[in-house]
Amino acid sequence: MKAMLLSLLLLGAAPSGPAPSSLPPEALGAPPLVDASPTAWSCTIDTLRAGKECVFEAEVPPAKGANTDVESANIKLLKDASRALCSEAVSIARDGTPDPKLVAVCERKYADVVGRCGIEGNTPVVDAKGRFAPEARACYRALSSVLQDVQLMASVASTCCECAARSQCPGNGESCYAAVSRQQAGPTTLACMDERCRDACSMMLPPSASIPRQSPSRGSPQHTDSAAL
Protein backbone atom coordinates (compact mmCIF):
# COMPACT_ATOMS: atom_id res chain seq x y z
CA MET A 1 0.00 0.00 0.00
CA LYS A 2 2.78 2.43 0.91
CA ALA A 3 4.53 1.70 -2.37
CA MET A 4 1.33 2.45 -4.32
CA LEU A 5 0.83 5.79 -2.54
CA LEU A 6 4.44 6.75 -3.19
CA SER A 7 4.03 5.97 -6.89
CA LEU A 8 0.90 8.14 -7.13
CA LEU A 9 2.65 11.05 -5.43
CA LEU A 10 5.58 10.83 -7.80
CA LEU A 11 3.31 10.69 -10.83
CA GLY A 12 1.29 13.74 -9.73
CA ALA A 13 4.26 15.88 -8.76
CA ALA A 14 4.93 18.91 -10.97
CA PRO A 15 8.22 18.77 -12.84
CA SER A 16 10.95 20.88 -11.27
CA GLY A 17 12.72 23.48 -13.35
CA PRO A 18 11.60 25.17 -16.57
CA ALA A 19 9.47 23.38 -19.11
CA PRO A 20 11.42 21.80 -21.95
CA SER A 21 11.87 24.20 -24.82
CA SER A 22 10.97 21.44 -27.24
CA LEU A 23 7.32 21.57 -26.16
CA PRO A 24 4.98 23.17 -28.70
CA PRO A 25 3.30 26.43 -27.55
CA GLU A 26 -0.11 24.76 -27.28
CA ALA A 27 1.13 22.00 -24.95
CA LEU A 28 -0.12 22.06 -21.36
CA GLY A 29 3.40 22.13 -19.97
CA ALA A 30 4.62 24.94 -22.22
CA PRO A 31 5.29 28.37 -20.69
CA PRO A 32 2.41 30.85 -21.08
CA LEU A 33 2.46 33.23 -24.00
CA VAL A 34 1.77 36.90 -23.28
CA ASP A 35 -0.14 38.88 -25.90
CA ALA A 36 0.63 42.55 -25.26
CA SER A 37 -1.50 43.83 -28.14
CA PRO A 38 -4.59 45.94 -27.27
CA THR A 39 -7.59 43.89 -26.24
CA ALA A 40 -10.97 44.22 -27.91
CA TRP A 41 -12.08 46.37 -24.96
CA SER A 42 -9.28 48.96 -25.11
CA CYS A 43 -10.34 52.58 -25.66
CA THR A 44 -8.82 53.58 -29.01
CA ILE A 45 -9.57 55.88 -31.92
CA ASP A 46 -11.54 53.00 -33.44
CA THR A 47 -13.82 52.65 -30.40
CA LEU A 48 -14.21 56.44 -30.37
CA ARG A 49 -15.26 56.31 -34.02
CA ALA A 50 -17.72 53.47 -33.40
CA GLY A 51 -19.12 54.84 -30.13
CA LYS A 52 -18.37 51.58 -28.31
CA GLU A 53 -17.98 51.12 -24.59
CA CYS A 54 -14.37 50.41 -23.70
CA VAL A 55 -11.75 50.11 -20.97
CA PHE A 56 -8.92 52.57 -20.34
CA GLU A 57 -5.99 50.17 -20.10
CA ALA A 58 -3.09 52.11 -21.60
CA GLU A 59 0.40 51.56 -20.27
CA VAL A 60 1.91 55.00 -19.76
CA PRO A 61 4.88 56.06 -17.65
CA PRO A 62 4.20 57.67 -14.26
CA ALA A 63 3.39 61.38 -14.43
CA LYS A 64 6.42 63.61 -13.96
CA GLY A 65 4.63 66.95 -13.91
CA ALA A 66 3.47 69.26 -16.68
CA ASN A 67 5.36 69.05 -19.96
CA THR A 68 4.50 71.47 -22.75
CA ASP A 69 5.93 69.18 -25.44
CA VAL A 70 3.74 66.27 -24.31
CA GLU A 71 0.71 68.57 -24.09
CA SER A 72 1.29 69.85 -27.64
CA ALA A 73 1.74 66.29 -28.93
CA ASN A 74 -1.51 65.22 -27.25
CA ILE A 75 -3.48 68.04 -28.84
CA LYS A 76 -1.89 67.54 -32.28
CA LEU A 77 -2.64 63.81 -32.29
CA LEU A 78 -6.33 64.36 -31.55
CA LYS A 79 -6.67 67.28 -33.97
CA ASP A 80 -5.14 65.22 -36.77
CA ALA A 81 -7.92 62.66 -36.31
CA SER A 82 -10.74 65.22 -36.34
CA ARG A 83 -11.29 65.46 -40.10
CA ALA A 84 -11.63 61.71 -40.58
CA LEU A 85 -13.78 61.22 -37.47
CA CYS A 86 -16.17 64.05 -38.33
CA SER A 87 -16.45 63.11 -42.01
CA GLU A 88 -17.19 59.49 -41.10
CA ALA A 89 -19.71 60.43 -38.41
CA VAL A 90 -21.72 62.52 -40.89
CA SER A 91 -21.35 60.15 -43.84
CA ILE A 92 -22.41 57.05 -41.88
CA ALA A 93 -25.51 58.77 -40.48
CA ARG A 94 -26.46 59.95 -44.01
CA ASP A 95 -25.84 56.61 -45.75
CA GLY A 96 -22.72 57.87 -47.47
CA THR A 97 -24.02 61.32 -48.46
CA PRO A 98 -21.62 64.11 -47.41
CA ASP A 99 -22.58 67.38 -45.75
CA PRO A 100 -19.54 69.70 -45.72
CA LYS A 101 -21.29 72.32 -43.60
CA LEU A 102 -22.12 69.84 -40.84
CA VAL A 103 -18.59 68.41 -41.00
CA ALA A 104 -17.32 71.95 -40.37
CA VAL A 105 -19.65 72.23 -37.36
CA CYS A 106 -18.30 68.94 -36.05
CA GLU A 107 -14.67 69.96 -36.53
CA ARG A 108 -15.21 73.21 -34.64
CA LYS A 109 -16.94 71.49 -31.72
CA TYR A 110 -14.28 68.77 -31.73
CA ALA A 111 -11.49 71.37 -31.72
CA ASP A 112 -13.06 73.14 -28.73
CA VAL A 113 -12.90 69.90 -26.75
CA VAL A 114 -9.41 68.97 -27.95
CA GLY A 115 -8.13 72.29 -26.65
CA ARG A 116 -8.86 70.98 -23.16
CA CYS A 117 -7.43 67.50 -23.83
CA GLY A 118 -3.74 68.16 -23.36
CA ILE A 119 -4.15 66.92 -19.76
CA GLU A 120 -1.47 69.51 -18.98
CA GLY A 121 1.21 67.33 -20.52
CA ASN A 122 1.36 65.11 -17.45
CA THR A 123 1.19 61.95 -19.57
CA PRO A 124 0.63 60.97 -23.22
CA VAL A 125 -3.05 60.84 -24.11
CA VAL A 126 -2.50 57.45 -25.80
CA ASP A 127 0.23 54.87 -25.37
CA ALA A 128 2.46 53.30 -28.02
CA LYS A 129 -0.29 50.80 -28.90
CA GLY A 130 -2.90 53.53 -29.49
CA ARG A 131 -4.82 52.99 -26.25
CA PHE A 132 -6.23 56.00 -24.40
CA ALA A 133 -4.70 56.66 -20.99
CA PRO A 134 -6.92 56.56 -17.87
CA GLU A 135 -6.09 60.24 -17.31
CA ALA A 136 -7.74 61.01 -20.68
CA ARG A 137 -11.09 59.54 -19.62
CA ALA A 138 -12.93 62.91 -19.46
CA CYS A 139 -11.41 63.98 -22.78
CA TYR A 140 -12.47 60.73 -24.47
CA ARG A 141 -16.03 61.03 -23.17
CA ALA A 142 -16.28 64.65 -24.34
CA LEU A 143 -15.04 63.78 -27.84
CA SER A 144 -17.45 60.85 -28.01
CA SER A 145 -20.32 63.16 -27.02
CA VAL A 146 -19.44 65.56 -29.86
CA LEU A 147 -19.48 62.75 -32.43
CA GLN A 148 -22.78 61.36 -31.13
CA ASP A 149 -24.41 64.81 -31.24
CA VAL A 150 -23.22 65.32 -34.81
CA GLN A 151 -24.53 61.91 -35.85
CA LEU A 152 -27.93 62.86 -34.43
CA MET A 153 -27.87 66.14 -36.36
CA ALA A 154 -26.89 64.30 -39.53
CA SER A 155 -29.71 61.79 -39.07
CA VAL A 156 -32.61 64.13 -38.30
CA ALA A 157 -31.60 67.65 -39.35
CA SER A 158 -29.09 67.58 -42.20
CA THR A 159 -31.48 67.15 -45.14
CA CYS A 160 -33.94 69.61 -43.65
CA CYS A 161 -31.30 72.28 -43.06
CA GLU A 162 -29.90 71.88 -46.58
CA CYS A 163 -33.38 72.57 -47.98
CA ALA A 164 -33.88 75.49 -45.57
CA ALA A 165 -30.63 77.05 -46.78
CA ARG A 166 -31.64 76.68 -50.44
CA SER A 167 -35.07 78.12 -49.67
CA GLN A 168 -33.59 81.04 -47.70
CA CYS A 169 -35.64 80.24 -44.62
CA PRO A 170 -34.74 82.23 -41.50
CA GLY A 171 -32.55 80.40 -39.04
CA ASN A 172 -30.68 78.44 -41.68
CA GLY A 173 -26.95 77.88 -41.58
CA GLU A 174 -24.94 76.14 -38.89
CA SER A 175 -27.38 77.04 -36.11
CA CYS A 176 -30.13 75.17 -37.96
CA TYR A 177 -28.66 71.75 -37.15
CA ALA A 178 -28.85 72.16 -33.39
CA ALA A 179 -32.22 73.96 -33.51
CA VAL A 180 -33.90 71.30 -35.64
CA SER A 181 -32.38 68.27 -33.88
CA ARG A 182 -33.42 69.68 -30.48
CA GLN A 183 -36.79 70.88 -31.82
CA GLN A 184 -35.98 74.46 -30.86
CA ALA A 185 -36.51 76.19 -34.22
CA GLY A 186 -38.54 79.41 -34.02
CA PRO A 187 -42.07 79.76 -35.40
CA THR A 188 -41.00 81.78 -38.45
CA THR A 189 -38.41 79.17 -39.35
CA LEU A 190 -40.90 76.34 -38.82
CA ALA A 191 -43.50 78.06 -41.00
CA CYS A 192 -40.98 78.48 -43.82
CA MET A 193 -39.84 74.87 -43.53
CA ASP A 194 -43.44 73.68 -43.53
CA GLU A 195 -44.22 75.64 -46.70
CA ARG A 196 -41.03 75.04 -48.68
CA CYS A 197 -39.35 71.95 -47.20
CA ARG A 198 -42.19 69.84 -45.86
CA ASP A 199 -40.85 66.57 -47.28
CA ALA A 200 -37.26 67.17 -46.18
CA CYS A 201 -38.27 68.32 -42.69
CA SER A 202 -41.28 66.11 -42.03
CA MET A 203 -39.47 64.04 -39.39
CA MET A 204 -38.98 67.03 -37.10
CA LEU A 205 -41.88 69.35 -37.98
CA PRO A 206 -45.00 69.61 -35.80
CA PRO A 207 -48.44 69.41 -37.48
CA SER A 208 -48.97 72.31 -39.89
CA ALA A 209 -52.02 73.59 -38.00
CA SER A 210 -49.99 74.03 -34.81
CA ILE A 211 -47.31 76.25 -36.36
CA PRO A 212 -47.90 79.99 -35.69
CA ARG A 213 -47.86 82.04 -38.87
CA GLN A 214 -47.55 85.74 -39.52
CA SER A 215 -50.31 87.38 -41.50
CA PRO A 216 -48.86 88.61 -44.80
CA SER A 217 -48.78 92.38 -45.20
CA ARG A 218 -50.73 93.95 -48.05
CA GLY A 219 -48.90 94.03 -51.32
CA SER A 220 -46.24 91.54 -50.25
CA PRO A 221 -46.05 88.35 -52.31
CA GLN A 222 -46.65 85.04 -50.59
CA HIS A 223 -44.09 82.30 -51.14
CA THR A 224 -45.91 79.01 -51.33
CA ASP A 225 -43.76 77.11 -53.78
CA SER A 226 -41.78 74.18 -52.42
CA ALA A 227 -38.06 73.97 -52.84
CA ALA A 228 -36.70 71.25 -55.09
CA LEU A 229 -35.10 68.52 -53.03
Tell me which residue of 194, 144, 193 sits closest to 171, measured CA to CA: 193
- Region 96-114: mean pLDDT is 93
Whether the per-residue pLDDT at 60 is higher than 60: the answer is yes
Say which amino acid occupies 153.
M
Contact between 165 and 124 under an 8 Å Cβ cutoff? The reply is: no
- CA–CA separation, 67 vs 62, rounded Å? 13
Q: pLDDT (tens digit, 9 = 90+) per residue, 107-153?
A: 999 999 998 887 777 888 999 899 999 989 999 999 999 999 999 99
Say which amino acid occupies 92.
I
User: How far from 36 is each of 57, 77, 131, 177, CA to CA, in Å?
Assistant: 11, 23, 12, 43
Answering whether pTM is above 0.85, one says no
Q: Where are the alpha helices (H) located in the chain, listed in sequence order?
A: 2-12, 45-50, 68-80, 82-93, 100-114, 137-156, 158-166, 174-181, 187-196, 198-201
Helices (H) and strands (E) in the chain, counts: 10, 0
Q: What one-character-per-residue DSSP string does 55-71 give?
A: B-----PPP-S--HHHH
Contact between 229 and 201 under an 8 Å Cβ cutoff? The reply is: no
Where residue 40 falls among pLDDT bands split at 50, 70, 90? confident
